[in-house]
Structure 1
Amino acid sequence: MLRHLGTAAALALAASLATGAHAQERITYKSAKAGSSYYQMGVEIAEAIKAGTGGDVSVTVEESQGSVQNVMEVRARGADYVFTTPPALVALAQEGKAMFEGKGNPAFAEIRALFPIPSLTMHFVVSGDAGVETFADLEGKTILLGSGSFGATEGQKYLEMFGLDGKVEIANAELSNAVAALKNGQIDAFVTAGSYPAPNVIEAAASTDVKVLSLSDDQVAETKRTKTVIPAGTYAGQDSDVVTTSLPVVAFATAEMSDDTAYLLTKTFWDEQATLADASPWWAAVTPEMMETVTTQIHPGALRYYEEIGAPINPSQK
């Protein structure tokens, strides 16, 4: 066939065929705000996927304004789209409820889970000088919740739930100022939600005497969130386990992604997990058992991998 073409055209076609034979698969990973821990996780996943596939899969990390935006973009994205969000938010989108009311779209029904990433873990961080051992001891104290985040909303909910509404002073400051405010005595406590170990809690514990409050089993049950244990020694001065709650976060794709690609991404993620944990401790808490928290269907390609390793999968996830 090539002899019937001009030299330039033949060379171009040959190059095209060679490139096609070794085509690099490209994936877009929609993450979080640049500078956030979850954006950093996205970068780490991208590097792990590239390394684990020998460069056959290239992941481009895109900044996002949040989980709702990530879900909404499913409507206009294709087979190469991977994004992170709590499974509960996917369920709301598929049911057209809450922030998705009146914004339903058939594409939401095609969302499929791949693998879990570190959960949004609640931290109630109190000054060692505040004399606070339990939530009841927060009465009369000044607490920084921040604003506009999951941690701020959840923190306010817990204060109300545990009988502290109107009994604490809420500091009018941004969460970025929490560590400095705690150190200089402007506040007695701050609330933050993120993967553990959380960078701002590490900073606080390293620079002043702090305590991360534990919830009782009854309090955990009341929140209706996932019980999470932050192991002793996670933070400086933390001599015992901390019982708290978390909101699972998962990497999703859609049914448009091929089974082979979903399998490759999922298997490579788990193959590289130990390396990820060596680089960033928050990955150490991620296990295949966390797929139990997924309330949506798992991608058939990812499901093949979980069945191979014997991970717990329930019928509703298939």
Structure 2
Amino acid sequence: MKILRTLGVIAAGMMALSVANAAQAETRVTLKSAKAASSYYQMAAQFAEAMKTGTDGDIIVTVEESQGSVQNVMEAMVRSGNYVFTSPPGLVSLAQNGKGPFDGRPTEKFAEVRALFPIPSLTMHFVMRADSGATSFADLEGKTILLGKGSFGAREGEKYLQLFGLEGKVDLADAELSNAVAALKNGQIDGFVTAGSWPAPNVIEAAAGTDVIVLSLSEDQLAETKRDKTVIPAGTYNGQEEDITTASLSVVAFATTQMDADTAYALTKTFWEQKAKMGESSSWWNGVSPEMLANITGKMHPGALRYYDEVGFSIRDDQR
């Protein structure tokens, strides 16, 4: 009996050691994303699941809700370890230079931020009823457009109207963007402006029941916006027979130098390897391509660079 008890103690000890080793092998990552109701929070949840699947549970990502990119970047000052967040690269640049909402903040903390990989961009859509006759921005004069209020798309849409000489020449509907599709179908507005990953759900909904045209920007207009170029392929939306050239705001997953290179490498590698599978359930992932790495300003994480060099993705010297 004494031998059995001894064997039982040894077995229990070995089991405890096995559990401890498994826990030690598991890497936990916190991903600060967006508001829970947003598409970007949904993307974060999809990424977390893809990371668990792609690493056989070796990396577990916990998604945290955020009130926006400024909060995400701000927390990079105080968060330790494997903190990942999403933000436009330009906002990180402002933080590293102590400008805008980061004026007076210690820039040395933000200097530790490093890029991992791009995620779907905030892409501008100017959606017009086909029977409005508007096929270019010049045709928007005299039309009723819904911009929405307070969102990036609303601010950006207003900026473009000013840039293209349409300020005061367009009738702006006083309504929330959530009412845009219904208002378009009812003929209350001629068009609406929205920004988000493509294909955009509200544009899909609008195109499904109404003949619509999504306006393209010329190269000169695109240059005026000072945004990145995005081409939405023909056939993305119902009735869309040609590619749409539009402006977008890149969004990137960032970490800090506190994350070790092996973890950053695993995150980056698994993202690109799981991207096609994620795209099968949510097509916005299909718009992410290696070419989008060119839109990243600032430095890449050494672990991400290791992966990009392995697969031959083009990385500029200033990103290294």
Aligned position for 1:3: none
Aligned position for 2:51: 49
Task: Write out aligned runs for 1:279-290 (5 A).
Answer: 279-290=281-292
The SS at the match of 2:134 is coil
The SS at the match of 2:255 is strand
Aligned position for 1:305: 307
Q: 2:122 aligns with which of 120, 142, 152?
A: 120
Tell me the TM-score normalised to structure 2 length: 0.94
Q: CA deviation at 1:8?
A: 11
Aligned position for 1:248: 250
Aligned position for 1:107: 109
Q: Is the 8 A contact 2:97 2:107 kept in 1?
A: no
User: What one-letter code is carried by the residue in structure 2 that aligns with 1:128?
Assistant: A
Q: Is the 8 A contact 2:76 2:110 kept in 1?
A: yes
**Cα distance in structure 1, aligned partners of 2:201 and 2:20:** 43
The SS at the match of 1:22 is helix
Q: CA deviation at 1:104?
A: 3.5
Q: CA deviation at 1:16?
A: 5.0
Aligned position for 2:78: 76
- The CA deviation string for residues 39-83 of structure 1, in whole angstroms up to 9 with x for no partner, is 111111011000000111111111111111110111221122111
The SS at the match of 1:79 is coil
Aligned position for 1:17: 17
User: What one-letter code is carried by the residue in structure 2 that aligns with 1:98?
Assistant: G
- The CA deviation string for residues 277-297 of structure 1, in whole angstroms up to 9 with x for no partner, is 111111111112211111011
Q: CA deviation at 1:36?
A: 1.2
Tell me the TM-score normalised to structure 1 length: 0.94
Change (3 A) 1:9 1:190: farther
Aligned position for 1:275: 277
- Residue identity over aligned pairs, in percent, reads 65
Q: CA deviation at 1:146?
A: 1.1
Change (3 A) 1:254 1:221: same
Aligned position for 2:35: 33
The SS at the match of 1:272 is helix
The SS at the match of 1:290 is helix
Task: Write out aligned runs for 1:87-102 (5 A).
Answer: 87-102=89-104
Aligned position for 2:3: none
Aligned position for 2:141: 139
- The CA deviation string for residues 107-164 of structure 1, in whole angstroms up to 9 with x for no partner, is 2110011111011111000111211011011111111111221111111110000000
The SS at the match of 2:298 is coil
The SS at the match of 1:304 is helix
Q: CA deviation at 1:19?
A: 2.7
**Cα distance in structure 1, aligned partners of 2:12 and 2:259:** 30
- Give ranges in structure 2 of 5+ residues lacking alignment: 1-5
**Cα distance in structure 1, aligned partners of 2:12 and 2:172:** 67
**Cα distance in structure 2, aligned partners of 1:88 and 1:45:** 23
- Give ranges in structure 1 of 5+ residues lacking alignment: 1-5
Aligned position for 1:161: 163
- The CA deviation string for residues 207-231 of structure 1, in whole angstroms up to 9 with x for no partner, is 2111100111111111111111111
**Cα distance in structure 2, aligned partners of 1:151 and 1:35:** 16
Q: CA deviation at 1:14?
A: 5.1
Q: Is the 8 A contact 2:31 2:64 kept in 1?
A: yes
**Cα distance in structure 2, aligned partners of 1:8 and 1:108:** 53
User: What one-letter code is carried by the residue in structure 2 that aligns with 1:151?
Assistant: G
**Cα distance in structure 1, aligned partners of 2:16 and 2:262:** 24
**Cα distance in structure 1, aligned partners of 2:265 and 2:94:** 26
**Cα distance in structure 2, aligned partners of 1:30 and 1:9:** 43
